[in-house]
Amino acid sequence: MPITSRRAVLGAFAAGSAALMARPSWGQAASVAAEVDDLAQAVMAAFPDQPGMSVAVVEDGATTLAKGYGVLRLGQAAPVTERSLFAIASNSKAYTAAALAILVEEGKLEWDAPVVRYMPEFAMSDPAITAMLTVRDLLCHRSGLALGAGDLMMFPQTTHTRADLVAGLKHLPIANGFRAGYAYDNVLYVVAGELILAVTGQVWEDFITARLLQPLGMGDSVASYARLPAGAEAAWPHARLGPPVRGMGPMVALQEHADLPVSVAAGGIYASARDHAKWVAAQLGKGVAADGTRLWSEDSARQMWKPEVIMGAASGDQTAERPDRSFISAYALGWMVENFRDRRILWHSGGIDGFATMTILVPGVNKGLVVLTNAEEGGVLRSFRNGGVDRLIGRRDYDWIAYSKRVEAVIAEQTAGAAAAVVEAPANAAAPSLPLSAYAGVYRDPWYGTVTVSERAGGLHVRFDKTAAFDGPLERFDGDTFRTRWTKPGNEDAFLIFKVEGGRVVSATAKAVSPAADFSYDFHDLHLTRER
């Protein structure tokens, strides 16, 4: 997701609301927890627009720190605690991978069997890929789909169902070679969730709860936003909504949480730092919960951590100025795998409206880190991604907060450039080819569904029929290009580019207005044909 009012309450709550957890001994374990606590307070001070954060440290299977900082919601005094619930978003992907690993062990799935063996309705747009794509392929972003392909079927909140998404897959174009490279997607994790339903009869939420959350003792956490109990201690989402583009302007509380039931297997879990630390301990323990229960085998742990596809290589070697460079980055099954300094780390981030979160494992020292935040503020996670790992491995020789500040300055410049590109209709804009009434009609994309353009109050209005947030005026921009103005704030606007043939509008394409729009706004994948 994209990345403020100054908070007078920061001073009151920056020190956090929970104590350091009981530790097995004094010495290094105690110092790591204390130093991460110090880092958390320094990060909150360095990024004062960050409303709240919850952090946990796991060392040798024990949680040595679980603590909250800041507030649940701007303008309110309630503090974040170690039990506050955050949307962990794509950190949920590793839970989905573990669920499939359990089913492989039970003989209900095979990692390298084709998905169509278990879901005959599964189809990609290329029949050859349909036949070859395996259970393993669902989890490692190498299918050939483009970055974020199909995300408009699940984000923002939609009336599409999971079955709709599976059916729509066959209409998504293949943009890259099968298994030829990495392109992050969410849709195939949704398929993985439906695969669980196909072989167990349980929806993803029920399976994850029964086989992972409950055995791990994650009593505060739930598998989806819809399962949050009334009165839950849940952090509220925050973001900078502009103007002129998301990522700029003051930090504000969003109107609501993102309720995305279609995509829970890709990013639905709400967890507390205290609970998510138990998940980290089980990961580091290669499948063993704190009470000694084995949830998955060591072989399954190896399968989930094994690099499957190269994500990219560093632009150069590690230097004194850039000790974070990794010589190679790879994606495993729900985990990213890199070298950091001289250590292997496994990590994942999660971003959803108003939340940014991260999970980090350092198997070589048997330590891990959880960082949950309630704002789209990338500098906080960046500081922890590097500074936190340094503390886990005993390094203290680099100021990662200062580094993150430098990166944020570059990002701010890029965002300003994107803002400059979001122009209003040019002064010399061409008139539309046809009267406005000629653009009104129903348009269909084979994977998304219908988009309705209607005349209203002397202008045009557009509605994406499965996405309530995509509803608003359609303004003339330049010639046959029009621009949306969504009534509901917080979502990226789009250009609709109509094609006119023989004096009639026959089709339309789309693209996000802002060059900095999150990839999940994949308007560019729409190919709308006029139905009437």
Shared domain check, 79 and 113: yes
197-247 tens-digit pLDDT? 999 999 999 999 999 999 999 999 999 999 999 999 999 999 999 888 888
The residue out of 418, 451, 481 marking a domain boundary is: 418
Q: Counting runs of H as helices and runs of E as strands, what totals does the chain give?
A: 12, 20
- CA gap 499, 480 in Å, rounded: 7
> What's the rounded Cα separation, in Å, for the pair 473 and 484?
6
What pLDDT score does 19 carry? 37
Residues 408 and 518 in one domain: no
The C-alpha angle with vertex 509 and arms to 504 and 514, in degrees rounded to 5, equals: 135
30, pLDDT greater than 50: no
Point out the domain boundary residue: 392, 418, 444. Answer: 418
Residue 23 covered by a domain: no
In this structure, the answer to whether residues 376 and 482 fall within a common structural domain is: no
> Within 10 A of 393 (CB to CB), how many other CB atoms are there?
17
Percent of the chain beyond pLDDT 70?
94
Cα separation, 195 vs 202, in Å, equals 10
**How far is 275 from 83, CA to CA, in rounded Å?**
8
Residue 334: which CATH number?
Answer: 3.40.710.10
Contact predicate 52/374, CB 8 Å: yes
User: For residue 455, what is the domain's CATH number?
Assistant: 2.40.128.50
Residues 323, 338: Cα–Cα separation, whole Å: 13
Beta bridge partners of 331: 309, 336
Residue 98 has pLDDT above 80, yes or no: yes
Nearest residue to 368 via CA among 56, 95, 41, 82? 56
Pair (399, 373) in one structural domain: yes
> What mean pLDDT comes out for the span 99-117?
99
Q: CA–CA distance from 197 to each of 118, 224, 387, 406 (Å)?
A: 10, 16, 40, 46
| Domain annotation covers residue 205 | yes
**What is the pLDDT, as a whole number, of residue 52?**
98
CA nearest to 220, candidates 206, 232, 212: 232
Structural domains in the chain (count): 2
Task: Indicate whether 427 belongs to any domain.
Answer: no
Instruction: Pick the closest to residue 168 from 119, 123, 132 (CA basis).
Output: 123
- Is position 25 within any domain? no
Q: Are residues 348 and 453 in the same domain?
A: no
| Same domain, residue pair 411 and 493 | no
For the chain, give percent helix, strand, coil, nearest 5.
Answer: 30, 25, 45
Q: In the prediction, which pLDDT does 307 show?
A: 97
Query: What separation in angstroms does the CA of 423 have from each of 148, 277, 298, 419, 516?
Result: 25, 45, 55, 8, 13
Whether the CB-CB separation of 345 and 339 falls below 8 Å is answered with yes
What span, in angstroms and rounded, lies between the C-alpha atoms of 169 and 447?
7
Quick: pLDDT tens for 131-178. 999 999 999 999 999 999 999 999 999 999 999 999 999 999 999 999
Q: Does one domain contain both 128 and 177?
A: yes
What tokens appear for 261 in the block? 């039931």
Outline where 115-257 has alpha helix (H).
Answer: 127-132, 162-168, 187-200, 204-208
Q: Tokens 């991460």 correspond to what residue?
A: 36
Question: How do 494-501 and 504-512 pair as beta strands?
Answer: antiparallel
Do 172 and 285 lie in a common domain? yes
pLDDT for 8: 24
Tell me, yes or no, whether 261 and 402 share the same domain: yes
Tens digit of each residue's pLDDT (9 = 90 or more) over 459-506: 999 999 999 999 999 999 999 999 999 998 889 999 999 999 999 999
Q: Are 352 and 489 in a shared domain? A: no
Looking at residue 298, what is its pLDDT? 98
For residue 406, give every residue at least 6 positions away whose Cβ sits within 8 Å of its Cβ, in sequence order, or none: none
| pLDDT confidence bin for 328, thresholds 50/70/90 | confident
- In contact, 34 and 14? CB cutoff 8 Å: no
The mean pLDDT of the chain is 92
**Do the Cβ atoms of 153 and 160 come closer than 8 Å?**
yes
The answer to the question of residue 59 being in a domain is: yes
Give the Cα-Cα-Cα angle 315, 524, 357 (nearest 5 degrees). 55
Can you give the pLDDT at residue 6?
Answer: 21
User: Do 56 and 274 contact (CB within 8 A), yes or no?
Assistant: yes
Domain boundary among 384, 418, 452: 418
Domain hosting 490: range is 436-530
Q: Which DSSP letter does residue 113 get?
A: S
410 and 444 co-located in one domain: no
Tokens encoding 86: 């955050």
Looking at residue 441, its pLDDT comes to 98
Structure tokens at 317: 């070697």
| Residue ranges of E strands in 264-328 | 270-271, 309-312
The per-residue pLDDT for range 277-287, each reduced to its tens digit, is 999 999 999 99
Helical pair 28-46 and 400-421, crossing angle rounded to 10 deg: 30
Residue 11 domain-assigned (yes or no): no
493-512 pLDDT, tens per residue?
999 999 999 999 999 999 99
CB-based contact 384:369 (threshold 8 Å) = yes
Residue 334 to residues 97, 112, 170, 192, 359, Cα–Cα distance (Å) = 6, 16, 24, 12, 11
Give domain status of residue 86, yes or no.
Answer: yes
pLDDT at 315: 63
One domain, residues 391 and 457: no
Judge contact between 346 and 361, C-beta under 8 A: yes
pLDDT in tens, 383-436: 999 999 999 999 988 999 999 999 999 988 988 888 888 878 888 999 999 999
- Give the DSSP letter of residue 328: -
Beta bridge partners of 52: 70
431 within domain boundaries: no
Intra-chain end-to-end CA distance of the chain, in Å? 35
pLDDT category, 266, cuts 50, 70, 90? very high
